[in-house]
Structure 1
Amino acid sequence: MRRAASAALFAWAVALPAHAACDKPLYLTFDTGHMGVAPLVAEVLNRQGVKATFFLADEKTLTGGTSLDDQWAPWWKARAAEGHLFASHTFDHVYWVADVAEGFRVRASAGPKAGQVQTWTPAQYCAELQRPADRLKAMTGQAMPRLFRAAGGKTSPALLNAAKACGWTHVGWSPAGFLGDELPSERYPNATLLARALRDVRRGDILLAHLGIWSRRDPWAPAVLEPLIEGLKAKGFCFATLAEHPVYRAAAVAR
């Protein structure tokens, strides 16, 4: 499923200040998923010296558990020790569906109410944003910055305002930063996605990938992630977490 990209990121991208390490920063982000490629992702990031921002939701995994369960707690603790950044993706990967008088209609894709349409108040949505932060603290001892990414990137002005009122700032991704790992591999082979990203990514872009996509037959990360990082480095780009992003650095201070 192709997600709607955040066009608002364009306006400031060309005016970004120089990054501490280079003047062409990129911000690599990963949403959770079935976690099948999570060990590979960690290995590549470590080998390449790249710090990323992970958006946490408690999604079903290939091993029959969930991405924030006790089996994966050591993996997350190791990433925290390596200096990666973490943000909320709603605990049950909850999609905004519509605004209503009471607040929002939402539908979770994980958890005990997966697939059900519910009506939530703004306070309930804020509580859902907090749940990954509480779990991260339990797994790693680390506080989570008040950054979040809505499931599927689906939001409304009312939802964003409600989240802002309880201290949360939404992070989308750049149009060219949509790396396509959730697209069908029959129509979007890995070689095509790699070439497109190397051609189109620009300074200041927020890049989006996942720790495992159920529907893609030919997994993206094993074929694309390291060549992409190496290719972007060869073009003079460097990588940073959202804690160094000019729009999000203030909100990225953990509380």
Structure 2
Amino acid sequence: MRRAELKIGRRLLAALACWVGVSASAATAGASSASCTGAAGEKPVYLTFDTGHMEIAPLVAEVLQRHRLKATFFLANERTRTGGASLDDQWAPWWRARAAEGHLFGSHTFDHAVWAGDTKGGFKVRPTAGPEAGRTLRWTAADYCESLQQSATRFEDMTGKKMAPIFRAAGGKTSSALLAAAKSCGWEHVPWTDAGFLGDELPSDKYPNKMLLNRALRNIRSGEILLAHLGIWSREEVWAPAVLEPLIVGLRERGFCFATLRDHPRYSDWLKR
């Protein structure tokens, strides 16, 4: 076994040690679904994940299965800790299983191309993955649309299912011109809300998991779109078991339920097209 794989295994084992207690408390709280039913007085929130290095993806899947929650995943072909990429053949079965469970999927541009400015006739972008990673490129609107579609094509190749016509800009960075360009080729942007930023991409030494969990439980209100990642390079603590499951349990105790973007007032009509 390679050294990198051993390190990942030790990190996950340490994370699972704290996960056991949370999972037990979740089980005693009952296995009822935390999904919204449309009843009056419900407080919906919308859980979304962007791709990342995928180390915590199996843990995320188990938490969602246990609580019978549907989430939205935004897909880019990002570098993983094991030297591959998040949409490669190693991860295809994982995505196929999530698609079979009925989650929603959108694009995150194929090479996680971060908008860096508008130009005459297009945009400057900086991919963080793929062969052009780290370079500043000049793209036309058609180039950006092609990158969005590339993730959708790969998703269909892996799962046999169509991707929803929604996307999240890499890094959340956009301009009105970029949003208009994406919409012209059939893509609607889904940002996160301020209080929905769960902070897993923040450095662990300044923002430990307990702080992130407490902040989320304190600040999240009805209607928030929550953002997390399937692994983030800037964070040393393993986020999923320490924050995701207690967050779900804590929000349910506060009367929140988990809806999908199919039911969001801004996106529901778009997704019915």
With the length of structure 2 as denominator, give the TM-score of the two structures: 0.85
Alpha-carbon distance in 2 for matches of 1:35, 1:85: 18
The equivalent of 2:62 in structure 1 is 43
The equivalent residue for 1:31 is 50
2:99 is equivalent to residue 80 of structure 1: yes
Tell me the matched-pair count: 237
Corresponding position of 2:185: 166
Cα displacement (A) at 1:19: 5.4
Q: Deviations over 1:114-167 (max 9, x none)?
A: 011110110110111111110111111110111000000000011011111111
Tell me how far 1:23 sits from its aligned partner.
1.7
Give the conservation status (yes or no) of the 8 Å contact 1:102–1:121. Answer: yes
- 1:216 & 1:235 partners in 2: Cα distance? 28
Residue of structure 1 in register with 2:168 after alignment: 149
Alignment partners' CA distance in 1, 2:172 and 2:211: 23
Distance in 2 of aligned mates of 1:222 and 1:190: 10
Separation of aligned partners in 2, 1:116 and 1:110: 10
User: Could you say which residue in structure 2 is the equivalent of 1:53?
Assistant: 72
Tell me the secondary structure at the aligned position of residue 175 of structure 1: coil
> Shift of residue 170 of structure 1?
0.5
Task: Say whether the 8 Å CA contact 1:102–1:119 is kept in structure 2.
Answer: no
Contact 1:122–1:162 under 8 Å retained in 2 = yes
Distance 2:218 2:251 in 1: 10
Amino acid at match of 1:91: F
Counterpart position of 1:231:
250
Equivalent residue for 2:146, pick from 127, 131, 137: 127
Report the Cα distance in structure 2 between the residues aligned to 1:253 and 1:137, rounded to whole angstroms.
19
Q: 2:118 aligns with which of 95, 99, 115?
A: 99
Secondary structure of the 2:130 match is coil
Backbone CA RMSD of aligned residues: 1.2
Deviations 1:158-199 (A, max 9, x none): 101111111111000111000000001111111111011001
**Aligned residues: percent identity?**
66
Distance 2:269 2:120 in 1: 32
Residue 246 (structure 1) aligned with residue 270 (structure 2): no
Superposed CA deviations along residues 31-67 of structure 1, whole A, max 9, x for unmatched, are 0000000000000000011110000000011111100
1:26–1:237 Cα contact (<8 Å) kept: yes
d(CA) in 2 for partners of 1:133, 1:249: 19
Higher helix share: 2
Structure-1 separation of matches of 2:151 and 2:123: 20
Cα drift, residue 233 of structure 1: 0.6
Deviation per CA, 1:97-124, whole angstroms, max 9, x where unpaired?
0100020011100001101111011011
Match of 1:64 among 83, 91, 96: 83
Higher relative contact order (CA 8 A, sep 6+): 1
Question: 1:20 corresponds to which letter in structure 2?
Answer: G
Instruction: Summarize the alignment of residues 108-123 of structure 1 with structure 2, pairs less than 5 Å apart.
Output: 108-123=127-142
Q: Secondary structure at the match of 1:230?
A: helix
Q: In the aligned structure 1, how far is the partner of 2:237 from the partner of 2:159?
A: 32
- How far apart, CA to CA, are the structure 2 residues paired with 1:31 and 1:19? 26
User: Which residue of the partner structure matches residue 38 of structure 2?
Assistant: 20
User: Tell me, what secondary structure is at the counterpart of 2:182?
Assistant: helix
